[in-house]
């Protein structure tokens, strides 16, 4: 038994990489990693050839929420005619993301899509932008392992972003500063790296992009709205003499994407997300250099990040955020989520679970996007809410429509059963992908009242009705909160 | 003696107040040891120590409660409290200005936005005031940097310690609930060495699956005993959930004639009221209202985001004080927004990021029914802000010293507050 168990677990370094760059290390993912020849080989395949990873189950999920593929005008009409509100469609978007994260075998691509979607943030709430929001996410998804300069072009001039940050109606008469400012502060250079004159010039450059709000929702470029004349933003300067300002927009965004301050800011955020809060300066500097040397290509930066000693030293120390917590819990428990038939179905209700812990996908209400640091998510409210979600999933009590939970018989063999300490170890290996520590065994003992040598059979009270206590004790341990 | 003034007059740092605070703190220990109930005064005013269980404290450490309501996204103070006596206001805002004929409780210079109508009874009864042209001494137009700076309130210091956390450090009392935030995250203002409890909904502030045998909580304590940052959050969560039992037992109020609006803020204020009325030793509560970043569609007096948000704000605050009843005599509410908006409107019925703003101060100890602050006069240029003539820390200092009887040297390090006059 002991040897067989050892073989099921990935070595520590592999466990770390596959955990940090996924939504939870399951036996299936461990098998993918082993088949690839180790976590590094798996990672390389994930970042360079994600399309080669068969992912039919995840692709089919989109069909569960058909409103996500309606056109902006159609979605708007349905809202006006009170067929279905925009907020409901956006709830579907969050659900799709959560279930996709549970399901996809392209875990790194999914993780990076989320990362960029949080940096280049357009909240899912909002009167107008919901019409374009799913398309916006799809746009980011295409570039998630590509080049940042191309990603930034695609997002800044996307209707969802233009609507959210008031670019869609900004004109030369009184340019709206919203998009011009947040582009500098959040998407590229960072706070305090520009002057108020830079903000005004940034806003002027971006005039001309237009979305036909409340009607067709089509994107257009209107030369008569574009502010012309010389512009300067820090070290970018342009004559901007043409009424068609699309070229100056392109040059400006290219300049910003390649700016050393942008490199720093993006790499600092990457290191915060995938290494730790307040990441070491030396690491950020190395990553920024790689980013600039590779023309803003993302893959070489990721490669350097996971090879770093800082990444290796951070194993098991990163806190899961609310959505990651929920998704990892579904994955750990092997919960089988089925096509939803009603709002009570697990595939739909999962959204409220993420919200209860603190945040559903991309619902952060401010332009700076969901935080990637740990500090934000360490609060008593979060802990209590995580306990609640873990408890209800451990028991399989809620959600209980269109979902299948595993039964204790999966872990408790018939007949003579299993010793309690071996049962805890089995569960630890499956749920946490590591052997049970002394502390975990003691925690499990306190939670259930069972002693280590006690024999657990299928008619033991633990198997019959106390099993959720044991599962929750494992899910509520520090090893499940971190990744 | 009016209920509004009794605590204020005894909280000016006079010896009687100090000894009362100390004796309450000292007595907590013996009360816990003895169990049962030790009455130290009028229970309505929070001077009762009740030990429902051997570990639970209901001590309200000072008798006063401060509610800090953050208007997130930078509210336009020039629309909330309109400087109708300044002709530049109407020149710079041809479409979004609020006509002076529709303003409420006007004086020669200012008037309230008509959507603030639910607040007029508080104003008329002298329990609501406005301080205009307030803010940080230097402009910071980044929402996020400004929020952090204004809530940290210790410029030049690298310590991550918010002003409310430093205030808690000055207050007597031992409750893990002394500083409580409504929401999901610890706000910058409460972040620091003192514990901060965070709660979204009162009824959820409980440990799911905790049985009477205590096994689940015992297991959690063991699991998290050694883990530094997270372990502290878990221990605060367990202590807070325990201390919150009396709050869960207090039903939500249904104040008339001003019910809570069916909004996030309305629901949050209803929860704050439960927390205050349960009397579990909460000194400071933070709560947020979002969606103030109105670059477009701030709108006019008839439509738009300003009207919608102002209505929500006024109805929520009015319902809150109505719901509090006699407890309202201990509660002071102050609004803060990270910065104000520019004087001139933009092309989209909105305004861009500016500097000076208005603060509303309501409830216990407020010398209300008046506008405070020094009006700097507006300018009608593309760049013009409302200049700041009153540092926001002067307003907060006055609230803190008058209500809690502490010195603000620790709360606002290196800052010398100027008198505002808004607090009795």
* Of the candidates B380, B378, B379, B415, the residue with the CA atom closest to the CA atom of residue B398: B415
Look at residue B173 in the predicted model and tell me its pLDDT. 81
Instruction: Kindly write down the DSSP assignment for every residue of A64-81, as one continuous string.
Output: GSGGGGS-HHHHHHHHHT
The stretch B43-52 carries a mean pLDDT of 29
* Residue B108 belongs to a domain: yes
For the cut 90, the answer to whether the pLDDT of residue B18 exceeds it is: no
Look at residue B174 in the predicted model and tell me its pLDDT. 75
The whole-angstrom separation of Cα A315 and Cα A278 is 16
* Residue B106 belongs to a domain: yes
- Out of B229, B240, B295, whose CB is closest to A176? B295
The stretch B376-386 carries a mean pLDDT of 95
Of the listed ranges A183-197, A369-383, B409-423, the least confidently predicted one is: A369-383
- B120 is in which domain, residue-wise? 56-410
The whole-angstrom separation of Cα A78 and Cα B5 is 56
The whole-angstrom separation of Cα A175 and Cα A228 is 12
* Mean of the per-residue pLDDT values of chain A: 96
Distances (CA, A) of B66 to B22, B239, B334, B358, B404: 20, 22, 8, 18, 9
For the cut 60, the answer to whether the pLDDT of residue B8 exceeds it is: no
Reported as a pLDDT band with limits 50, 70 and 90, residue A451 is very high
Does B197 touch chain A if contact means CB atoms closer than 8 Å?
A: yes
Residues of chain A contacting B70 with CB distance shorter than 8 Å: none
Domain limits, chain A: 261-313, 409-481
Residues 6+ away with beta carbon under 8 Å from A59: none
The whole-angstrom separation of Cα B217 and Cα A286 is 45
* Residue B224 belongs to a domain: yes
* Residue B4 belongs to a domain: no
Q: Do A176 and B347 lie within an 8 Å CB cutoff?
A: yes
The stretch B373-378 carries a mean pLDDT of 97
- Out of A185, A319, A376, whose CB is closest to B185? A376
CA distance B344 to chain A (A): 10
Tokens representing B239 are 């202590």
For the cut 90, the answer to whether the pLDDT of residue B30 exceeds it is: no
Under 8 Å CB pairs connecting chains A and B tally to 162
b vs e for A153-190, b when ≥16 Cβ sit within 10 Å of the residue's Cβ?
Answer: bbbbbbbbbbbbbbbbbbbbebbbbbbbbbbbbbbbbb
Does B141 touch chain A if contact means CB atoms closer than 8 Å?
A: yes
For the cut 70, the answer to whether the pLDDT of residue B341 exceeds it is: yes
> What kind and span of H or E run contains A41?
helix A39-48
Look at residue A5 in the predicted model and tell me its pLDDT. 59
Grouping H, G, I as helix, E, B as strand and the rest as coil, residue B131 is: strand
For the cut 60, the answer to whether the pLDDT of residue A3 exceeds it is: no
For the cut 80, the answer to whether the pLDDT of residue A365 exceeds it is: yes
For the cut 70, the answer to whether the pLDDT of residue B15 exceeds it is: no
Q: Do B352 and A177 lie within an 8 Å CB cutoff?
A: yes
Look at residue B17 in the predicted model and tell me its pLDDT. 29
The whole-angstrom separation of Cα B203 and Cα B249 is 9
* Residue B182 belongs to a domain: yes
Of the listed ranges A76-80, A338-342, B171-175, the least confidently predicted one is: B171-175
Q: Counting Cβ atoms within 10 Å, is residue A57 exposed (0-12), middle (13-18) or buried (19+)? A: exposed
The whole-angstrom separation of Cα B188 and Cα B236 is 17
* Of the candidates B58, B7, B23, B32, the residue with the CA atom closest to the CA atom of residue B276: B58
Please report, to the nearest 10 degrees, the dihedral formed by the alpha carbons of residues B209, B212, B215, B218 taken in order.
100
The whole-angstrom separation of Cα A282 and Cα A304 is 13
* Residue B271 belongs to a domain: yes
* Mean of the per-residue pLDDT values of chain B: 86
CATH number at residue B272: 3.40.720
- Tally of structural domains, chain B: 1
Q: Do B353 and A177 lie within an 8 Å CB cutoff?
A: yes
Of the listed ranges A40-44, A427-431, B31-35, B153-157, the least confidently predicted one is: B31-35
Look at residue B28 in the predicted model and tell me its pLDDT. 31
Nearest chain A residue (CA) to B233 = A380
Reported as a pLDDT band with limits 50, 70 and 90, residue A1 is very low
Ranges of beta strands (E only) in A164-312 are 209-211, 219-221, 231-233, 236-238
Tokens representing A238 are 């342009």
Look at residue B176 in the predicted model and tell me its pLDDT. 84
The stretch A288-310 carries a mean pLDDT of 98
pLDDT tens digits along A334-353: 999 999 999 999 999 999 99
* Of the candidates B360, B372, B363, the residue with the CA atom closest to the CA atom of residue B403: B363
Does B290 touch chain A if contact means CB atoms closer than 8 Å?
A: yes
Of the listed ranges A43-47, A401-405, B16-20, the least confidently predicted one is: B16-20
Q: Which of B191, B209, B215 to mutate to test the interface with A (most CBs of A within 10 A)?
A: B209
* Of the candidates B105, B46, B28, B49, the residue with the CA atom closest to the CA atom of residue B276: B46
């Amino acid at each position: 038994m002991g040897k067989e168990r050892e073989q099921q677990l990935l070595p520590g370094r592999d466990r770390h990489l596959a955990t940090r760059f996924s939504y939870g290390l399951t036996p299936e993912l461990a098998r993918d990693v082993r088949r690839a020849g180790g976590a590094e080989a798996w990672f390389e395949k994930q970042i360079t050839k994600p399309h080669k990873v068969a992912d039919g189950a995840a692709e089919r999920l989109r069909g569960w929420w058909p409103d996500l593929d309606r056109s902006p005008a159609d979605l708007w009409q349905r809202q006006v005619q009170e067929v279905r509100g925009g907020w409901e469609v956006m709830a579907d978007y969050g659900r799709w993301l959560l279930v996709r994260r549970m399901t996809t075998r392209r875990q790194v691509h999914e993780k990076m899509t989320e990362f960029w979607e949080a940096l280049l943030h357009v909240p899912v709430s909002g009167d107008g932008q919901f019409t374009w929001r799913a398309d916006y996410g799809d746009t980011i998804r295409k570039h998630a392992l590509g080049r940042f300069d191309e990603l930034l072009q695609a997002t800044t001039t996307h209707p969802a972003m233009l609507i959210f940050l008031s670019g869609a109606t900004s004109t030369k008469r009184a340019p709206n500063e919203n998009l011009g400012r947040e582009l500098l502060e959040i998407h590229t250079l960072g706070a305090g790296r520009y002057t108020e004159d830079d903000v005004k010039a940034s806003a002027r450059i971006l005039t001309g992009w237009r979305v036909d709000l409340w009607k067709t929702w089509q994107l257009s470029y209107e030369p008569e709205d574009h502010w012309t004349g010389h512009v300067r933003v820090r070290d970018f300067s342009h004559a901007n003499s043409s009424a068609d300002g699309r070229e100056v927009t392109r040059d400006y965004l290219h300049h910003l994407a390649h700016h050393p301050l942008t490199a720093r800011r993006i790499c600092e955020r990457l290191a915060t997300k995938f290494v730790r809060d307040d990441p070491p300066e030396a690491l950020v500097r190395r990553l920024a250099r790689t980013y600039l040397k590779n023309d803003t290509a993302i893959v070489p930066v990721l490669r350097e990040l996971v090879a770093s000693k800082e990444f290796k030293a951070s194993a098991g120390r990163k806190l899961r955020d609310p959505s990651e917590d929920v998704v990892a819990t579904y994955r750990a428990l092997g919960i089988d989520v089925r096509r939803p038939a009603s709002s009570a179905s697990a595939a739909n209700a999962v959204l409220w679970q993420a919200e209860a812990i603190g945040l559903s996908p991309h619902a952060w209400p401010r332009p700076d996007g969901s935080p990637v640091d740990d500090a934000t998510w360490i609060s008593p409210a979060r802990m209590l809410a995580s306990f609640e979600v873990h408890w209800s999933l451990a028991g399989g009590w809620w959600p209980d429509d269109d979902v299948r939970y595993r039964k204790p018989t999966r872990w408790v063999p018939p007949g003579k059963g299993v010793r309690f300490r071996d049962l805890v170890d089995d569960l630890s290996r499956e749920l946490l992908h590591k052997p049970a520590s002394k502390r975990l065994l003691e925690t499990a003992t306190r939670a259930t009242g069972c002693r280590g040598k006690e024999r657990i059979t299928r008619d033991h009270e633990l198997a019959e009705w106390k099993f959720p206590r044991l599962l929750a004790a494992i899910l509520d341990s520090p090893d499940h909160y971190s990744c | 003696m009016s209920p509004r003034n009794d605590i204020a007059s005894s909280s000016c740092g006079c010896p009687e107040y100090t000894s009362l605070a100390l004796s309450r703190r000292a007595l907590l220990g013996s009360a816990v040891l003895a169990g049962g109930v030790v009455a130290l005064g009028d229970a309505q005013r929070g001077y009762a120590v009740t030990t429902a269980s051997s570990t639970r404290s209901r001590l309200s450490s000072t008798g006063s409660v401060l509610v800090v309501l953050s208007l997130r996204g930078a509210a336009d103070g020039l629309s909330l409290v309109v400087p109708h006596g300044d002709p530049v206001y109407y020149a710079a805002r041809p479409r979004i200005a609020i006509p002076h004929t529709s303003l409420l409780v006007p004086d020669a210079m200012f008037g309230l936005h008509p959507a603030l109508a639910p607040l007029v009874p508080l104003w008329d009864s002298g329990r609501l005031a406005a301080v205009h042209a307030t803010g940080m001494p230097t402009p910071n137009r980044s929402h996020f940097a400004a929020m952090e700076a204004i809530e940290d309130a210790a410029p030049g210091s690298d310590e991550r310690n918010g002003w409310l956390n430093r205030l808690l450090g000055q207050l007597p009392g031992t409750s893990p609930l002394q500083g409580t935030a409504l929401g999901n995250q610890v706000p910058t203002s409460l972040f620091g060495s003192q514990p901060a409890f965070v709660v979204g909904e009162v009824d959820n502030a409980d440990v799911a699956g905790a049985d009477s045998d205590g096994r689940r909580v015992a297991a959690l304590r063991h699991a998290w005993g050694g883990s530094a940052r997270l372990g502290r959050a878990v221990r605060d969560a367990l202590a807070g959930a325990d201390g919150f039992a009396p709050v869960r037992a207090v039903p939500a109020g249904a104040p008339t004639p001003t019910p809570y609006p069916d909004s996030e803020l309305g629901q949050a204020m209803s929860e704050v009221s439960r927390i205050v009325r349960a009397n579990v030793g909460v000194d400071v509560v933070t709560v947020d209202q979002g969606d103030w970043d109105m670059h477009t569609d701030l709108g006019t007096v008839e439509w738009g985001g300003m009207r919608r948000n102002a209505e929500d704000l006024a109805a929520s605050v009015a319902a809150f004080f109505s719901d509090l009843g006699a407890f309202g005599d201990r509660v002071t509410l102050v609004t803060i927004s990270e910065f104000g908006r520019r004087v001139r409107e933009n092309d989209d019925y909105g305004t861009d990021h500016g500097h000076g703003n208005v603060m509303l101060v309501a409830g216990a100890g407020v010398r209300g029914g008046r506008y405070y602050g020094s009006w700097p006069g507006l300018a009608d240029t593309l760049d013009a802000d409302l200049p700041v003539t009153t540092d926001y820390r002067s307003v907060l200092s006055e609230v803190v010293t008058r209500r809690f009887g502490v010195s603000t040297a620790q709360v606002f390090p290196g800052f010398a507050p100027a008198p505002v006059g808004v607090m009795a």
